[in-house]
Amino acid sequence: MTATPQLECLTSDLLKGVRHGFFTRAGGASSGIFRGLNCGQGSSDQSAVVDMNRARVAHAMEVPVERLVTVHQTHGDRAVAVGDTQPLPRPEADGIVSATPGTAIAILTADCQPVLLADTKAGVIGAAHAGWRGALDGILERTLAEMEALGATRGDIHAAIGPSISQRAYEVGPDFIEPFLDEAPENARFFVNGAGDRYLFDLPGYGLSRLRAAGVGDAEWTGHCTYSDEARFYSYRRATHRGEVDYGRLISAIRL
C-alpha cells in the first residue's frame, strides 16, 4: 500500500484546545500549476483529484469527508451557521460558524486572509475568508456576531489569521485606498508608498485591527506570505503576474 504524502499544517497557539490548521501545498495529489494540495472545487483542476485532496484534509482533521464543511465564497459579508454535514448546494457565504463537535469548517484562500476563530469556553468555532473587500464590508464582524448567536462571548474569542499576501507584495493603485479612507482616515496607516503612484497595502494588519476593534480576546497573524513562498502556498496575484490560466486554493480548517 502506498503511504499518503505528509500534509503540512500550520497552527496558532491562540487556538490551543481546538483542532485546526492552515494547510500548505504539501502532500497534495494535484499536478502542473496546481501542484500540491489544491482544494478548490471552483478551480479547473481535475475534480477527482480535488476530491482526493479534500479527503486527505478531512483525514488530517479526523472527520469523515462529508463533515468537512465549506461554502461557496463570494467576497461578501455573509456568515452562516452549519450543523453536522456539508449542506448541498453549498450556501453562498464567506464566514462559517459551528457549535457541533466532530464537524470541521473550512475556507479556501489564495492571498486573501484565512481567519480561524474559537471560543473554547462556549464551544463555538468560526472560519472566515477575508479579502480586502470582505474585510472592508464587515465579514469578520459578521462572523463574530454569528458565533455570539451560538453562545460565544466576544471577549473569549481568539482569532488567528493564516498565510496571506503581505504588505511588501500587495501593490495597489491610487483608487484602491479611497474606500478605506472613506471608512476611517486612520486607515491610512495600512498603506505605504510604493513606486510612482502605487501604494503597498497591509491586509493582515488591517484584518487584525478589525478583529481587535471588534473586541476579540486576542488575535494574531502567523506571518506567512502567500505571494513570496511559492513552494508552500498558492497565490492568485503571483499566478496573474505570470499569466497563468488558473491557480490552486489553500484550505484552512477548524473543529471542536
pLDDT tens digit sequence for 7-36 = 999 999 999 999 999 999 999 999 999 999
Domain 9-166+202-255 has CATH 3.40.50.1820: no
Task: Please say if the pLDDT value at position 1 is more than 60.
Answer: no
In the chain, the percentage of residues whose pLDDT exceeds 70 is 98
Whether residue 10 contacts residue 224, with contact meaning beta carbons closer than 8 Å, is answered with yes
- Confidence label for 2 from pLDDT (cuts 50, 70 and 90): very low
- pTM (2 decimals)? 0.96
User: Looking at the predicted structure, is the pLDDT value of residue 3 above 50?
Assistant: no
Tell me the mean pLDDT in the region 92-114. 98
Distance CA 17, CA 31 (A): 35
**Spatial contact of 38 and 248, defined as CB atoms under 8 Å apart:** yes
Could you tell me the residue ranges of all domains in the chain? 9-166+202-255
**DSSP sequence for the chain:** -PPPPPP-EE--GGGTTSEEEEE-STT--B-GGG-B----TTSSS-HHHHHHHHHHHHHHTTS-GGGEE--B--SSS-EEE--SS--SSPPB-SEEEE--TT-EEEEEESSSEEEEEEETTTTEEEEEEE-HHHHHHTHHHHHHHHHHHTT--GGG-EEEE-SB--GGG-EE-TTTTHHHHHH-GGGGGGEEE-STT-EEE-HHHHHHHHHHHTT-SEEEE---BTTT-TTT---HHHHHHHT-S----EEEEEE-
Average pLDDT of 74-88? 94
Average pLDDT over residues 72-98: 95
pLDDT digits (tens, 9 = 90+) for 154-209: 999 999 999 999 999 999 999 999 999 999 999 999 999 999 999 999 999 999 99
Lowest mean pLDDT among 40-44, 123-127, 133-137: 40-44
